[in-house]
Amino acid sequence: MPEDPVFLLNNFMKREFNIIIFGIGGQGIITLTRLLAEAALNEGYNAKTSEVHGLSQRDGSVDTHLRFGKEIFSPLVSQSKADLIISLEIQETLKAAYYAKSDKNTIFLINDFIKEIQDSKKFSKEEIIKELKKISKRIFIIPASKIAKEKLNNEVLAGIFLLGYSVFKKIVPLKPSSFLKAILKVVPEKYLEINKKAFSLAEDYD
């Protein structure tokens, strides 16, 4: 659990909430972004997102931006302005440093999953976490891929599990019911049940 979600919520009410999702192509990042946006809209906020397609999706790094609040102009989050970084791959999290706030209060929600980079040394989880601790006091590493594989038999659901975790643990200041409504709207019918299950699974995870 974050130490003081109340601080975060108070802080948020003053302006807007900025999320960046990092990962690699094929991890369902665009859907996650969409779910967050729809959930924010369900609570009456304005929201904007930004994504990339085409060449940039071919197993390269992918990041999407999502901002919600009363008044949002730019679809991109500014440098050092992220409230929450969701990272579906540990190494990709290193890129997030650019967006971390100088007061070390940016929350890092990281999937415990490493995908090797061609022709490069694999950084260890410990090495990366040590480095991230320099820029954030709030780092959560969740074995979402492992849970998605073991309990749902599908690793792609790691993202939605992580999203569920961020909501049930009050990291994202939006209600679970707003997300369930969003899932109903965004996810195709044949994947609906499994997505709802992945989302709700996070409620009991500590």
Partner 1 sequence: MEKLLSKKISEKEFLLGNEAIVRGAIEAGVSFVTTYPGTPASEIGDTFFKIKNQKSLPAQAGKIKNSFYFEYSTNEKVALEAAAGASFSGLRSLIAMKNFGLNVASDFLMPLMSSGVNGGLVIVVADDVGCSSSAQFEEDSRPYSYLAYLPILEPATPQECKDFTKFAFEFSEKFKIPIMIRTTTRIALASGIVKFEKISEIKRKAKFVKNPLQFSTMPPRVLEMHRELIEKIKKIQKFLEKNKINKIESGGRSRLGIITSGISYLYVREALKELNLDLSVLKLGFVYPLPEKKIANFIKKLQKVLVVEELQPYLEREIKRIANDANCKVKIFGKDLIPEVGELKPEIVTSSIAKFANRPPSFALVPGLKLKIPKRKPQFCPGCPYWLVFGAVKKAVNPNEIVFGGEIGCYMLAFYPPIDLQDYLYCMGSGAGVAHGISKATKQKIITFIGDSSFFHAGIPALINTVFNKSNPLIIILDNQTTAMTGHQPHPGAPTVPNGIKIENIVSACGVKNLAIIDPIEQEKFIEKIKEFLNKEEVSVIIARRPCIFVK
Q: How far is CA 164 from CA 67, 168, 172, 184, in A?
A: 18, 6, 10, 14
Q: Is residue 46 a contact residue for partner 1 (CB under 8 A)? A: yes
Examine residue 60 and tell whether it contacts partner 1 (CB under 8 A). yes
Contact between 118 and partner 1 per CB under 8 A: yes
Relative to beta strand 16-24, strand 61-69 is: antiparallel
DSSP reduced 3-state for 202: helix
Residue 50 binding partner 1, by CB under 8 A? yes
**Token representation of residue 191:** 């994947």
**Segment near partner 1 (CB under 8 A); pick from 131-139, 161-169, 172-180, 191-199:** 131-139
Q: Min. distance of Cβ 141 from partner 1 in angstroms?
A: 16
The contact mask relative to partner 1 for 73-102 (x = CB under 8 A, - = no) is: xxxxxxxxx---------xx-xx-xx-xxx
Q: Are 96 and 135 in contact (CB under 8 A)?
A: no
d(CA 105, CA 25): 28
Cβ atoms of 140 and 109 within 8 Å: the answer is yes
Q: Which amino acid is at 185?
A: K
Among 6, 9, 13, 52, binds partner 1 (CB under 8 A): 52
> Footprint of partner 1 on this chain (CB under 8 A)?
24-25, 34, 37-38, 41, 46-56, 58-61, 72-81, 91-92, 94-95, 97-98, 100-102, 117-120, 123, 127-128, 131-132, 134-135
